[in-house]
């Protein structure tokens, strides 16, 4: 009979093999998706389109990014930008773009009514109301696209059942450790999860860098207004269209998104916001990520393995399969140049991300754009300064009371 120690050791080794199996599934999912999409011929379908661009501030490549939307190989489209107010530093750049591309229909909007806590969605509400065309394509302010972007994304809507098409995104990172770690994480891990989730043959979510839909489908889900208090507006638009009977697709057209230089604090706040967003939107899926963290599991396996060669085998398998998954998904599939150059950062990012995942359980608060929000029932509520001070005071009082009680005991 096996001893209790042997049972525990065997159980841990079996669990440590789960991430390795996940990496194999992700590799299969990427090979299947990208081979199919690259072989598929898209239909010729070029109806008029409204491009919706909520913009807040500028980064190291904003001018080039804005211009990329004006260089589309597409016959009829308008571009609508929306800033919080006309003092936004992006406005001079947008006006320059209008001068440089007089043939394009471009408008700048501002001062969107505050419908909810998510300012980006408030801006999208105004943009959608002003949009002239049925098909609307939203993208973040820091996104860059290829000249065939619109043609490839909008072609999916030749099928009237399609309600949403969203895009993977490649990283363009400044020479900064934290920016590169973030870019590597998206290309090597986040997209792998998206591809595995789509393996049953249906997609139930959208990726937020670029989301195409129609006014009709927006109306079916209550418009952007229904998303105005939600943190994960990109996920929700895809999920709600799916639940309403629409087909949701991942496009083979990838865009680029910017990763500007940042501090450790900025990196941490951004990563934790993502983690807590996933936990609050899909709690079961977030908990299930425990089996995708190959690095800590394989280190644990190396510690408890009955022989050194078994432990070394787990670590070696992690390195080979994890890096292979990163390359197939991010380099071969999405064609991310940051990951191609910084593949060695993958284990470093995995170590950091495990800590981020644990931190995702700790609180229902996130920091976004320098503002702290509490997430209640999936909805955002800005935490007022007075409330923050009150919470700090209460925590201090509790610690003081606990300390007094301990001294009495």
- DSSP states along 228-240: TTBS-HHHHHHHH
Locate all alpha helices (DSSP H) within 40-107, ordered by sequence: 62-68, 90-100
Domain map (residue ranges) of the chain: 31-262
User: In this structure, what token pair is assigned to residue 13?
Assistant: 């080794």
pLDDT for 252 equals 93
- pTM of the complete model: 0.88
Report how far Cα 338 is from the mean position of its chain's Cα atoms.
Answer: 17
Rounded CA gap, 278 and 284, in Å? Answer: 10
Rounded CA gap, 153 and 126, in Å? Answer: 23
Locate all alpha helices (DSSP H) within 117-185, ordered by sequence: 119-130, 149-154, 177-185
User: In this structure, what token pair is assigned to residue 278?
Assistant: 């996933």
Digit-by-digit pLDDT tens for the chain (409 residues) are: 456 657 788 888 889 999 999 999 999 999 999 999 999 999 999 999 999 999 999 999 999 999 999 999 999 999 999 999 999 999 999 999 999 999 999 999 999 999 998 999 999 999 999 999 999 999 999 999 999 999 999 999 999 999 999 999 999 999 999 999 999 999 999 999 999 999 988 899 999 899 999 999 999 999 999 999 988 899 999 999 999 999 999 999 999 999 999 999 999 988 998 888 888 888 888 888 898 999 999 999 999 898 899 999 999 999 999 999 999 999 999 999 999 999 999 999 999 999 999 999 988 888 777 788 888 777 878 887 444 444 434 444 444 444 444 444 4
CATH of 31-262, one of 3.30.1490.100, 3.90.550.10, 3.40.50.720, 3.40.50.11720: 3.90.550.10
Map residue 382 onto helix, strand or coil. Answer: strand
Map residue 114 onto helix, strand or coil. Answer: coil
User: In this structure, what token pair is assigned to residue 133?
Assistant: 């065309």
Closest CA to 74 of 99, 97, 50, 55: 50
Residues, the chain: 409
Determine how many CB atoms are found less than 10 A away from the CB of residue 148: 14
User: In this structure, what token pair is assigned to residue 337?
Assistant: 């140049």
Map residue 214 onto helix, strand or coil. Answer: strand
**Cα separation values, 181 from 22, 162, 266, 343, Å:** 22, 34, 12, 10
pLDDT for 3 equals 65
User: In this structure, what token pair is assigned to residue 260?
Assistant: 């500007």
pLDDT for 76 equals 97
User: In this structure, what token pair is assigned to residue 174?
Assistant: 């400044």
- Strands 77-83 and 49-54, how do they pair? parallel
Q: For tokens 């409330």, name the residue.
A: 387
């Amino acid at each position: 009979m096996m001893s209790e120690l042997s049972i525990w050791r065997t159980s841990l080794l079996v669990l440590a093999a789960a991430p390795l199996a996940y990496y194999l599934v992700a590799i299969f999912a990427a090979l299947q998706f990208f081979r199919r999409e690259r072989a598929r011929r898209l239909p010729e379908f070029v109806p008029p389109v409204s491009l919706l661009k909520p913009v807040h501030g500028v980064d190291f490549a904003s001018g080039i990014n804005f211009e990329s939307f004006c260089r589309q190989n597409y016959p009829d489209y308008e571009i609508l930008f929306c800033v919080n107010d006309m003092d936004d530093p992006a406005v001079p750049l947008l006006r320059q773009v209008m001068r440089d591309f007089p043939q394009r229909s471009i408008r700048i909007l501002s001062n969107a009514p505050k419908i909810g806590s998510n300012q980006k969605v408030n801006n999208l509400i105004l943009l959608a109301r002003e949009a002239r065309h049925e098909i609307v394509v939203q993208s973040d302010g820091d996104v860059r696209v290829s000249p065939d972007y619109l043609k490839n994304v909008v072609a999916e809507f030749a099928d009237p059942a399609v309600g949403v098409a969203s895009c993977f995104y490649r990283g363009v990172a400044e020479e900064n450790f934290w920016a590169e770690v973030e870019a590597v994480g998206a290309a090597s891990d986040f997209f792998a999860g998206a591809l595995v989730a789509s393996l049953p043959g249906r997609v139930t979510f959208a990726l937020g860098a670029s989301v195409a839909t129609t006014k009709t489908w927006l109306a079916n889900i209550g418009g952007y207004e229904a998303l105005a208090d939600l943190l994960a507006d990109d996920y929700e638009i895809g999920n709600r269209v799916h639940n309403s009977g629409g087909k949701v697709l991942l496009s083979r057209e990838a865009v680029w998104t910017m990763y500007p230089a940042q501090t450790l604090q900025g990196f941490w706040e951004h990563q934790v916001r993502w983690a807590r967003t996933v936990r609050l939107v899909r709690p079961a899926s977030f908990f299930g990520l425990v089996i995708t963290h190959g690095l800590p599991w394989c280190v644990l396996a190396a510690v408890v393995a009955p022989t050194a060669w078994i432990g070394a085998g787990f670590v070696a398998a992690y390195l080979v399969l994890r890096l292979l998954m990163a390359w197939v998904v991010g380099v071969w599939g999405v064609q991310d140049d940051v990951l191609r150059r910084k593949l060695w950062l993958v284990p470093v990012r995995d170590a950091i991300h495990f800590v981020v995942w644990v931190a995702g359980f700790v609180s229902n608060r996130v920091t976004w754009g320098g503002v702290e929000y509490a997430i209640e029932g999936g909805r955002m509520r800005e935490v007022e300064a007075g409330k923050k001070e009150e919470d700090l005071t209460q925590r201090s009082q509790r610690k003081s009371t606990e300390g007094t009680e301990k001294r009495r005991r």
